[in-house]
Structure 1
Amino acid sequence: MENGTINFNSMEPQTCLDPDPDDSGPRWRVPIMMPPDIRRYEVRLGPTGGAKGYSAIRGEEPPFIDFCFWINGRLMPELTVYRGNTYFFKVQCGQNDKMGNSNYHPFYITDDPDGGYMEKSETGKRRYKIYAGVEDPDGYNPVPIAKGPLCYYTHRSGRDNWREARNFKEYQSSLELACEDGANSRYGMLNWTVQPYTPDTVYYQSFTHEGLGWKINVLDSDSSSCMYQASMKYLIILYTCFLCIIL
């Protein structure tokens, strides 16, 4: 960190957490759930929120790089998708490794709860399946495609106030977005059509490091759409009966 912003020229991991693990103060309401009707997402990096954020969500300590994925301005939210629907992810998590792998996190979707495909042994890679974000995922040299300029939520005051924040909204308001070369309007793109064979639970993760992402719940159909269709059928039946009575 330099003057409350990420040092985009540094080759070292960017540390934004106070190392003291004390979690005093009220806890936040986690996990953070995204509404199931959302199909467009913005993926960036941000601080882990200490014991009230990452640790409360995943039940473990944050990765050594001390940041994680933020989606639509939320810290590592749980997503819900429907098989057959297409979802659009705008990714701003580093587009190359020139600044070091700690600042390079291509976004991908997998059944691996930890991610970090690039770090795994060949045996470890064969244990999990990739569902989106990587070209030739079953080949010898999978290539991540969901990458873009690096954008990061950083602390306005220069320090992480997760202990003082009474809720996530208060914590969120203490942050501001910093992007390399002001590239907040440029991004990589991942379009994911959820296939019928996709498991009930998958994860969005970083291709280069473990533990930056979280859970995606996969459902069979858009229940809200089904309820709407059922309601319309019910109204049509009622209207038909009404016509039968008055005619």
Structure 2
Amino acid sequence: MIEAKDISFSYGEREVLRGISLEVGEGEFVAILGPNGAGKSTFLRCLAGILKCDGVFVKGRPINDYPPRELSKVLAYVPQRVEPGFLTVFDTVLLGRRPYMGLTPSERDLKVVEEALKRLGIEELALKRTNEISGGELQKVSIARALAQEPEVLLMDEPTNNLDLKSQLEVMRLARELAREGKAVVTVMHDVNLALRFAKRFVFMKDGRKIADGGLEVLSEKLFEEVYGVKVEIGEVRGVPVVVPL
């Protein structure tokens, strides 16, 4: 569905990504993990086509060959932070329908927006302006706008930012559901335990390189010490892996 082939990226003379390859197929839920400065967000922005580099393909086609409107129908990106504005929540989510809309939204556009709001549990916020809601609520609005694009590939950078515990679980359950519906879902995460509970595949990065890639079988105390520089103990609670720093 989306593929990176040996991509590198630099900000000026500072190399941030060093030859990373990754292929994510239909129905996969991948969490990208690693310490601050590992290049995770930069890598995600390269996958989204926001940062231009060679070697990224969406559905077998170079991402740089896609016109923006066409790419927006296939791929959606949720950033770490979203700035509030004067639009209502409903109209903000409706912006996700721009690739499909004419001069005015159709009945289908409005229905898709309503469904996106419902999936995020923010229907009651529809008529509020985004500068009148909390940071966590604004994060849910950003995810709803991405869902309104009806993408086949969903990329999310720290989607649980500003969310309370209940909302974190709701968003991660939604991400898992979307993968089960056939979307390719890739999230950058800092909360390792939350990622291990919901994702099925884990990519560990450090210093702009991919250190490990796979399912639960790649987890080891040695890996966490190599990637994060801390000793951990890996346990299990009700069948879910739990990483405890020592």
Name the structure with the higher helix share. 2
**Fold equivalence (TM over 0.5):** no
Coarse TM-score class (shorter-chain normalised)? under 0.3
Q: TM-score, normalised by structure 1?
A: 0.26
How does the TM-score come out when normalised to structure 2? Answer: 0.26
Bigger Rg, which one: 1
